[in-house]
Chains A and B, each alone.
Chain A
Amino acid sequence: MKLYHSCRKIAFVNLFVFISFFEVFADGTLDEKVKNLTLELRCMTCQNQSIYDSEADFSKDIKKIVRTKFEEGKSEKEIKLFLVERYGEYILFKPLLNYKNWFLWSFPFIFLMFGLFFIGLKIRKN
């Protein structure tokens, strides 16, 4: 019994940590917004490097575009879609959540559920 107690305590602390998780998504400054987005974009002329980290001409251009779009008041999603239209989905390091990629995004989650289910079953059996 004592153990369940301790587990509950640990769970509470975790909950606390996770709640604070959501506070992060408050609006950042323009620089931060540009940084966060360009970190998720691929420099198409480099090798597996993000636009943010790259000093290639292509990356410099995209950084400028992203900045102007943010200044125009566009949202992150709108800018991403704009870039995808122009350069293809290849530019996104984080694939869009569309019909093509649903398997990619759901798979880890489904597997985790499956694993939890299996563990629950085993515990109950014993």
Chain B
Amino acid sequence: MSSLVGFISLALAVIINIFLLISNFFIKYNNKIFNLIIKVSSILTIISFFSLMYAYIVSDFSNFNVFQNSHSEKPLIYKISGTWGNHEGSMLLWLSILSIYGFFFSRTENINIKFKQQTLLIQSFLHVLFGLFIVFTSNPFLVNSVIVKEGLGLNPILQDPGLAIHPPILYAGYVGYSIVFSLAIAGLFSDSDNKGWIFVTKRWALISWTFLTGGIALGSYWAYYELGWGGWWFWDPVENISLMPWIAGLALVHSLLMAKGEQIIKKWIIFLSILCFSLSVFGTFLVRSGILTSVHSFASDASRGLFILLIFFIITGFGFLVFLLKTPENSKPINFLFINKVSALVINNILMIIATLTILLGTIYPIIVEVLTNDRISVGGPYFNSTVIPIMIPGFLLMSIAPILSWQTNRIRNARLYVIGFIAISLLVLVQSYLSTFNTWGVLGLILGIWIITASFISIISSYKIDFNFKLLQKINPHIAHIGVGIAIIGITCSSVFKNEYDFNLNEGDTVQIEDTIVKLEKIEMTNEVNFQALRANFLIERNKKVVANIKAGKNYYPVSKMITTEAGIYHELYKDIYFIVGDQKDKNWFVKVYINPFVSFIWIGVLIMVVSGFIGVTRK
């Protein structure tokens, strides 16, 4: 029953949007009715989504999708999040978020009505494309032709609280770019004033980018504790795919800043807006088509891939075609000097685009090579580390001072202070690393991170009167975001360069010393949980002869899908994580791998600061 409601409302929403698109050529809607139509279609789509969720919650196995991806013995939270733990459901989530964005955008006030309607029309065009895709190739409401009492179950890796938050937040980022895309296209069609357009674009671009940041970080954290590989970033194709619109979006957000300096480079902003959404859709194509194998490509199906490829070509082709045909003129020439804010922003943009394109190339190069020569090659971490990171380094250097550069002149206030600061930090880090273990990347990363934080603090203290209120927070917001980046860089550098690992074969009761910590494998036990069997090793962490924590690490066995997952145990501290993985048993002893990951927490803290600062930025007029 709920499936029927779901399907009807899904189809109805698509039909309403088609009707709106066609009728718009003949009827001139007044604002109220237009908004009403958008809202009705949004609500219908969301009803459709909740019907699917309901089917999952009550384990309605007459729905084929529920039957294939759920199991009645799962805990409730995984029934709910299982709604989007499969291809069809996740596409419906995508469409629902598109609708939610449309809904809120239709409530935007103080913006030219004609412009708003055009934006919403493009939005509803996107709705139709993705709606048809779902109805024809990925319908989550198909009826199960046999009557069954039990479902096939959800992939155990996805049975994790991470599934409840990572996809919705990530999609909120990807799909948010649709609004930015629609605004750009509408901006090309209308000749309305730039001011309103820029302001609205800035807000939505920042919202999407902030969600994307959060989504990627959550995914990364999930990979960190769930895969049990000791790392948090693997340059996996799916990670690269999320990184591309993120970097492009970063370039976009920064370009929009230039609009504040009255230096509107509309052409570039529109280009980036189209690029961001194109990359999001392209990512969806690569993941959903099954060309790339990863934990994210649930089940692959060629027809879906083709359909999404078609949508990608329509959106990108349409976007860039309009862009070429109606390229806006620059209203003012940009004021590009040796070192002012504009040149810093332009350089930052160029570097980001090169980084984005390099990631894109590295991600699809194996596919191209395989098609052309039938050889299989891999492009992995070492390639990206040796290309993308060096490209970004000048950008990071520039970032530390960019916010205090002037728009008009070459002068930097307190230039001497910054130079002295930079040299002092460099020398300090160099000496420190020569005394301990020297590593070039380590030194570079530490100098950059510490320098960015210090420079941001110098700027805040020297440029603003410090009185604690929200207004000040809004003003110094760019610096706050950059401090977040600096903290994250320190975390990234330390955790990848100074990571240590130790292998042990331990029996119950054994004690080992790892750096300054004594670890005791207290006991190993097997338990039966609701839908899996768990093997857990209990480790006691001792410092100065006192037990400070006990950490459980082990494996789960899921009988429904006959899969084993690794459950890493992590002891979090501010300055390091102790990361435990339990391997196989060999003559009574268990193989235990321990990673010491220094400063990992800094990554999450840094990202959190960036996200908070993103939302503060949204409130800024």
Contacts and interface: CB of A to CB of B under 8 A. Distances in A.
Contact of A53 (B229, B419, B443): B229
B164 interface: no
Interface stretch (B114-122, B350-358, B486-494): B350-358
B378 A9 contact: no
Contacts of B295: 47
B426 A111 contact: no
Contact of A89 (B346, B376, B447): B376
B443 A17 contact: yes
A29 interface: no
A42 B381 CA distance: 10
B383 A94 contact: yes
Nearest to A53: B229
Interface residues of B, number: 60
B236 interface: yes
Contacts of A119: 343, 346-347, 350
B598 to A, nearest CB: 18
Interface in A1-55: 2-3, 6-7, 9-10, 13, 16-17, 20-21, 23-24, 39-40, 42, 47-50, 53, 55
B337 A126 contact: yes
Nearest to B503: A55
A100 B379 CA distance: 13
Given A6-B419, A20-B443, A123-B338, A49 B229 contact: yes
Given A53-B229, A108-B354, A112-B391, A3 B412 contact: yes
Nearest to A92: B378
B8 to A, nearest CB: 39
Contacts of A122: 336, 343, 346
A114 to B, nearest CB: 9
A90 interface: yes
Contacts of A6: 412, 415-416, 418-419
A70 interface: no
A104 B382 CA distance: 13
Contact of B336 (A21, A53, A112, A123): A123
Contacts of A2: 415
B358 A108 contact: yes
B359 to A, nearest CB: 10
Interface in B432-456: 438-440, 443-444, 447
A67 B357 CA distance: 37
Interface in B381-412: 381-383, 386-388, 391, 410-412
Interface in A70-112: 88-95, 100-101, 103-104, 107-108, 111-112
B369 interface: yes
Contacts of A92: 377-378
Nearest to B237: A48
Nearest to A13: B426
A104 B443 contact: no
A81 B201 CA distance: 51
Contacts of B377: 89-90, 92, 95, 100-101
B144 interface: no
Contacts, number: 134
A20 B583 contact: no
A96 to B, nearest CB: 8
Nearest to A126: B336
Contacts of B382: 39-40, 93-94
Contacts of B591: 55
B231 interface: yes
Interface string B299-318: 00000000000000000000
Given A3-B411, A126-B335, A17 B447 contact: yes
A103 B419 CA distance: 39
A123 B337 contact: yes
B236 A48 contact: yes
B46 to A, nearest CB: 35
Contact of B430 (A20, A49, A104, A118): A20
Interface string B227-251: 0011100101100000000000000
Contacts of A48: 234, 236-237, 294, 380
A95 B383 contact: yes
B362 interface: yes
A123 B358 CA distance: 25
B20 interface: no
B293 interface: yes
A72 B611 CA distance: 52
B378 A42 contact: yes
B129 to A, nearest CB: 31
Contacts of A7: 339
A90 B366 CA distance: 9
Interface string B475-505: 0000000000000000000000000000000
A107 B380 contact: no
B379 A17 contact: no
B387 A108 contact: yes
A47 B346 contact: no
Contacts of B376: 88-90
A90 B499 CA distance: 27
Interface of A: 2-3, 6-7, 9-10, 13, 16-17, 20-21, 23-24, 39-40, 42, 47-50, 53, 55, 88-95, 100-101, 103-104, 107-108, 111-112, 115, 118-119, 122-123, 125-126
11 contacts: A3-B412, A13-B426, A16-B426, A48-B236, A48-B237, A49-B234, A95-B378, A104-B362, A107-B358, A122-B346, A123-B336
Interface of B: 229-231, 234, 236-237, 293-295, 335-339, 343, 346-347, 350-351, 354, 357-358, 361-362, 365, 369, 373, 375-383, 386-388, 391, 410-412, 415-416, 418-419, 422-423, 426, 430, 438-440, 443-444, 447, 583, 591, 593
Given A90-B376, A108-B358, 5 more contacts: A6-B415, A16-B426, A108-B361, A119-B350, A123-B336
Query: Which 5 pairs, one residue from A and one from B, show the smallest C-beta to C-beta distance?
Result: A93-B380, A94-B382, A90-B376, A115-B350, A108-B358
